[in-house]
């Protein structure tokens, strides 16, 4: 293989004047994590609401939840980001569109909202199956105790359901981290984009991508280990995972 | 809002969008699904083989692929495939590889990890009596897998495999990062040439949405039928 390896490249200064190549990659990693966490907050809030809607006895509510999930699940994330980034400012009234276009950090906000809504459909599906997996007696018992529907969800169903779906939610969060790289197409300079920039500046393709790969792996490992502790902490006594 | 919506730009570019773009997308989806299913099944068999090195290899492979973003893997292989080609053919310089080959290799290698997890679940869902009976009949390991276990695993997992294929279909849009004219890439080229971003991206969204919706509706019906037979 006639490729010239140079692993010391990471400590050489990058031409964009922000420090070494390693600093460049780390700033990308930071932006990846920031975007992922902000998007995850949106995904959790919207996903929980829609997930609950889908399990309510009201036909209209579950129909609305169904349409929401289908809407966000049946379009590629890339296309959704393009809709938010290129199409939305054009179809809004002029003044609003102009405001959106002139917003500083537009790629970050677009990526956060677009990715958050995209993931919210998946969170909703997980939560719905979690609520669905609870024995029917829980809801009946709550009703028999005189709890309203809102109280039943708040005190009985959701605390159980969220604990049950914690493992799949962890992998959805990791998907969120990975999916931030799609925002490279709307100009978000996250980890993959920084690796690509490093490759263009230095021509050390494989070093740059190896470093990005290692950083993504580290994020995965840290999240997986942290969530194992959380899972142990909130485990329900009497269930297989419980004490 | 739609006062100056130009439907004509869509009509004019229809043949380019579908004959070139959609053909690329669907061919890539089809070939990548078949390739990833074959490779994924092999990985699943390795993982369940009981031989330590094979279990390790398959486990690390699947975990590695599943922790990386597809965009990064696409970049990796775009640069790596020419060197792999050089290594395989023993030529003196990196091989020239077309956009299609490069993305096909990427998707097979990446999606195989996801397909292997599905096939593993499928194989594990088959009761132990089945391979035991096959062994009692004198079938070899490969015969047991080929005639007894895999056909049933595949059938049980068909809805999940098809759902993964829909995900794969949507994921192929990411070859956009290599400026390859798949369906979205073609739409984007027309959009930028004619300055009609709104029309082209909305149209692309509608087409992706319609195809995925119809496909997932089909999968749901299939699932209901399979559940009924059981």
Average pLDDT, chain A: 92
Q: Is the pLDDT of residue A46 over 90?
A: yes
- Contact state of B72 with A212 under an 8 Å Cβ cutoff: yes
What ranges in chain B are assigned the alpha helix state H?
Answer: 7-15, 23-47, 52-67, 70-89, 99-124, 129-136, 141-143, 150-171, 183-194, 197-229
Answer whether residue B167 is part of any domain. Answer: yes
**B112/B109 Cα distance (integer angstroms):** 5
pLDDT computed for residue A63 by the predictor: 96
**DSSP state, A83?**
I
Domain, as residue range, for B154? 7-229
Calculate how close chain A gets to B138, using CA atoms only, in Å. Answer: 39
Write down the pTM of the prediction. 0.92
Residue range B192-218, pLDDT digits in tens: 999 899 999 999 999 999 999 999 999
Share of chain A above pLDDT 90, in %: 79
| A1 burial level (CB within 10 Å; 0-12, 13-18, 19+) | exposed
**A142/A33 Cα distance (integer angstroms):** 40
- Per-residue pLDDT band for B97 (boundaries 50, 70, 90) equals confident
| Angle, helices A106-133/A59-73, rounded to nearest 10 degrees | 130
**Prediction ipTM score:** 0.91
**A47/A117 Cα distance (integer angstroms):** 8
Residue range B3-27, pLDDT digits in tens: 677 788 888 888 899 999 999 999 9
Interior CA angle at A154 toward A153 and A157, to 5°? 45
Calculate how close chain B gets to A3, using CA atoms only, in Å. Answer: 9
- Is residue A57 a contact partner of residue A243, using CB atoms and an 8 Å limit? no
Residue range A191-243, pLDDT digits in tens: 999 999 999 998 899 999 999 999 999 999 999 999 999 988 888 877 755 54
**B204/A74 Cα distance (integer angstroms):** 12
Answer whether residue B164 is part of any domain. Answer: yes
State the total domains in chain B.
1
Mean pLDDT throughout A166-189? 95
- Domain of B26, CATH number, reads 1.10.3720.10
Contacts A86 to B, Cβ<8 Å: 197-198, 201
Average pLDDT, chain B: 92
What domains can you pick out in chain A, each with its CATH number? Answer: 20-234 (1.10.3720.10)
pLDDT computed for residue B96 by the predictor: 82
At B93, is the secondary structure helix, strand, or coil? coil
**A194/A217 Cα distance (integer angstroms):** 16
The closest of A16, A12, A68 to A43, measured between CA atoms, is A68
- Contact state of B75 with A87 under an 8 Å Cβ cutoff: no
Q: Is the pLDDT of residue A13 over 70?
A: yes
Share of chain A above pLDDT 70, in %: 98
Mean pLDDT throughout B163-181? 95
- Per-residue pLDDT band for A16 (boundaries 50, 70, 90) equals confident
- Contact state of B75 with A209 under an 8 Å Cβ cutoff: yes
- Contact state of B68 with A213 under an 8 Å Cβ cutoff: yes
Residue range B109-126, pLDDT digits in tens: 999 999 999 999 999 999
Share of chain B above pLDDT 90, in %: 77
The number of residues making up chain B comes to 230
Interior CA angle at B209 toward A31 and A84, to 5°? 35
| Angle, helices B197-229/B183-194, rounded to nearest 10 degrees | 160
Answer whether residue B2 is part of any domain. Answer: no
pLDDT computed for residue B2 by the predictor: 60
Residue range A129-160, pLDDT digits in tens: 999 999 999 999 999 999 999 999 999 999 99
- Contact state of B79 with A76 under an 8 Å Cβ cutoff: no
Contacts A76 to B, Cβ<8 Å: 170-171, 173-174, 184, 208
pLDDT computed for residue A243 by the predictor: 47
Greatest pairwise CA separation for chain A in angstroms: 75
The terminus-to-terminus CA distance of chain A in angstroms comes to 54
**A55/A66 Cα distance (integer angstroms):** 10
Answer whether residue B186 is part of any domain. Answer: yes
Q: How many A×B Cβ pairs under 8 Å?
A: 105
- Phi and psi at A11, nearest 5°, equal -95, 5
Answer whether residue B209 is part of any domain. Answer: yes
Contacts of B87 (CB under 8 A, 6+ apart): A1
pLDDT computed for residue B7 by the predictor: 81
Mean pLDDT throughout B82-109? 88
- Contact state of A3 with B174 under an 8 Å Cβ cutoff: no
Q: How many CB atoms lie within 10 A of CB A81?
A: 24
Range with the poorest average pLDDT among A12-26, A154-168, A217-231, B143-157: A12-26
Most confident of A216-225, B98-107, B220-229: A216-225
């Amino acid at each position: 293989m006639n490729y010239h390896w140079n692993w010391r490249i990471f400590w050489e200064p990058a031409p964009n004047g922000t420090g070494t190549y390693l600093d460049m990659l780390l700033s990308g990693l930071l932006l990846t994590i920031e975007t992922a966490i902000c998007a995850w907050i949106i995904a959790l809030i919207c996903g929980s609401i829609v997930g609950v809607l889908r399990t309510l006895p009201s036909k209209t509510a579950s129909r609305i939840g169904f349409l929401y999930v289908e809407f966000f699940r049946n379009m590629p994330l890339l296309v959704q980001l393009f809709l938010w980034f290129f199409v939305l400012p054009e179809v809004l009234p002029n003044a609003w569109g102009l405001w959106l276009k002139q917003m500083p950090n537009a790629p970050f906000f677009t990526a956060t909202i677009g990715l958050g809504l995209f993931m919210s459909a998946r969170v909703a599906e997980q939560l719905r199956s979690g609520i669905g997996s609870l024995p029917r007696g829980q809801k009946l018992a709550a009703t028999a105790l005189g709890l309203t529907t809102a109280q039943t969800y708040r005190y009985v169903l959701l605390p159980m359901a969220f604990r049950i779906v914690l493992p799949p939610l962890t992998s959805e969060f990791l998907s969120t981290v990975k999916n931030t790289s799609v925002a490279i197409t709307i100009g978000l300079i996250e980890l993959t984009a920084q690796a690509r920039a490093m490759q263009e500046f230095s021509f050390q393709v494989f070093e740059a991508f190896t470093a990005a790969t290692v950083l993504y792996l580290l994020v995965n490992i840290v999240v997986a280990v942290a969530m194992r502790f959380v899972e142990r902490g909130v485990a329900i006594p009497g269930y297989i995972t419980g004490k | 809002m739609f006062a100056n919506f130009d439907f004509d730009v869509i009509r004019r570019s229809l043949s380019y969008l579908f004959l070139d773009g959609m053909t690329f997308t669907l061919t890539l989806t089809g070939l990548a699904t078949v390739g990833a299913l074959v490779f994924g099944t092999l990985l699943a068999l390795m993982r369940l083989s009981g031989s330590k090195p094979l279990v390790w290899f398959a486990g690390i492979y699947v975990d590695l692929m599943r922790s990386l973003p597809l965009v990064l893997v696409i970049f990796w292989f775009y640069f790596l495939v020419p060197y792999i080609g050089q290594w395989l053919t023993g030529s003196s310089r990196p091989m020239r590889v077309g956009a299609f080959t490069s993305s096909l290799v990427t998707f097979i290698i990446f999606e195989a990890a996801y397909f292997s997890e599905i096939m593993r679940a499928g194989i594990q869902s088959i009761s132990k009596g089945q391979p035991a009976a096959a062994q009692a009949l004198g079938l070899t390991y490969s015969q047991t897998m080929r005639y007894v276990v895999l056909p049933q695993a595949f059938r049980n997992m068909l809805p999940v495999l098809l759902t993964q294929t829909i995900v794969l279909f949507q994921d192929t849009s990411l070859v956009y990062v290599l400026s390859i004219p798949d369906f979205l890439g073609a739409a984007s080229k027309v959009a930028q040439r004619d300055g009609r971003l709104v029309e082209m991206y909305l149209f692309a969204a509608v087409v992706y949405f319609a195809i995925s919706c119809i496909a997932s509706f089909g999968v749901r019906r299939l699932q209901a039928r399979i559940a009924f037979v059981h």
